[in-house]
Amino acid sequence: MLRLSIAPLLFSIASILVAQEPADTNYDETRVPSYKLPDALVDNSGKQVGRDEWSAHRRAEVQTLFEDSVYGKTPDQELTARYEILDNDPEALDGRATRKQIAAFFGDDGYRLDILVYIPNQPRKPVAGFVGLNFDGNHTVHSDPGIIKRRDNKKERGTKASRWQVEMIIGQGYALATVHRDRIDPDNYRNDFTDGIHPLFYREGQERPEPREWGSIGAWAWGLSRILDYFETDPQVDATRIAVMGHSRLGKAALWAGAQDTRFALVISNNSGCGGAALYRRCYGERIHHMIKPVGYWFCTNHHQYRHREHDLPVDQHMLLGLVAPRPLYIASATADRWADPKGEFLAAKYASHVYELFNRSNLSGHDLPMPDQPIHTTVGYHLRTGKHDVTAYDWQQYLKFSDTFLKED
């Protein structure tokens, strides 16, 4: 009896301890070390590259550097998907949208991902859209009772609706597709890569990824590309005008997906922080050594050697953002989200300008960190929202406005 009653208490103490930021976290701008960023436009042989060489070989080199030292390599093997349409309701959201739910099956054993899709009923032609993963289950994205809820998922319907703003997205003429991240690779510290998609790609006798092979972020990025594959089969959607969007750890995954899969026409990172848009070398807020124990499985194990050695990384995150060029890219931060280093996120976006300049695309090179709630919409968009680590209606208003510029048809 006693054991039962103190269990919730112990649990909440444990969550407080986990949520607390480590004592060595630096939030003092004057203690940010001086740093020299690797140059995206100097190739591995030390040669300065121009636009043709960037496209011919330097871009691939940079991607390989990220595979080797940060996220791990995604297997080249392609798995053909088989789709089963579980639901197709043209009267969803009071008749404003068509809701589809698709089970995508991969591999011989039929590994299954459930994709939730909303498509606006107006305009009646293929629409642009957003692809993103959700944290807690498809049914948390909206309170729509038609969304399939897995019996083993205890989260209430619609609990994360404010992060998705489905009506706003649909109302502005965009489709939305989402998958629960845990269905691709379970996000918990016991992750041993046995119960997500990794085993589908293991070689004979392999039991876990090699030090330079993908972790969870790689797997989630893979999943984002599989949603885009589905969109390519849906005649109501124009798959050449799809934005990939993610928040926090799933923003890290969205960036890595957008870097690897150039079919994504636009890339959005919301408060993605360390291992996402923030520059590692500023050592401000979260750092690599903070992540190893609780969430080291997000990265390849080779990444772990850079704990306390950010300056030795062969890359920094401005180069990841450069891999998105010349496609439009949006980085968003929040004032109270110091752990994610808003200034470091802005600077990475600013220093990605070198690559955008190769393609004569507008960029952040002439800009300083803007005041809160003063968005900058060049081909690289940025805003610093007032408030905490979250996705809000304000964030979506900016993403939709930005997408209207770059994804809407002439």
Q: Which residues are catalytic?
A: 248, 389
Within residues 265-304, the interface with ligand GCU by CB under 6 A covers 273-274, 286
| Minimal distance, residue 339 CB to ligand GCU, in Å | 6
102's CB contacts (< 8 A; 6+ apart) are 83, 84, 85, 86, 114, 115, 117, 230
183/249 with CB nearer ligand GCU: 249
Query: Distance between CA atoms of 112 and 83, rounded to whole angstroms?
Result: 10
Within residues 334-363, the interface with ligand GCU by CB under 6 A covers 339
Within residues 118-157, the interface with ligand GCU by CB under 6 A covers none
CA of 409: how far to CAs of 128, 240, 402, in Å? 9, 11, 13
| Minimal distance, residue 29 CB to ligand GCU, in Å | 20
| Minimal distance, residue 42 CB to ligand GCU, in Å | 29
| Minimal distance, residue 249 CB to ligand GCU, in Å | 3
Within residues 217-256, the interface with ligand GCU by CB under 6 A covers 248-249
| Minimal distance, residue 194 CB to ligand GCU, in Å | 22
126/275 with CB nearer ligand GCU: 275
| Torsional sign, CA 236, 240, 241, 246 | positive
Query: Distance between CA atoms of 237 and 209, rounded to whole angstroms?
Result: 35
117/349 with CB nearer ligand GCU: 349
SS3 298: helix
SS3 174: coil
CB 131 within 8 A of CB 224: yes
Compute and round to an integer the Cα radius of gyration of the chain. 21
Helix and strand numbers, DSSP H then E, in the chain: 13, 10
Other C-beta atoms within 10 Å of 221: how many?
A: 27
Furthest-apart CA atoms within the chain: distance in Å: 71
CA of 315: how far to CAs of 19, 61, 67, 68, 83, in Å? 29, 11, 11, 10, 38
296/381 with CB nearer ligand GCU: 296
Query: Distance between CA atoms of 246 and 277, rounded to whole angstroms?
Result: 11
165/248 with CB nearer ligand GCU: 248
| Minimal distance, residue 187 CB to ligand GCU, in Å | 9
238/337 with CB nearer ligand GCU: 337
How many residues belong to the site for ligand GCU (CB under 6 A)?
6
CB 239 within 8 A of CB 228: yes
- Positions that interact with ligand GCU (CB under 6 A): 248-249, 273-274, 286, 339
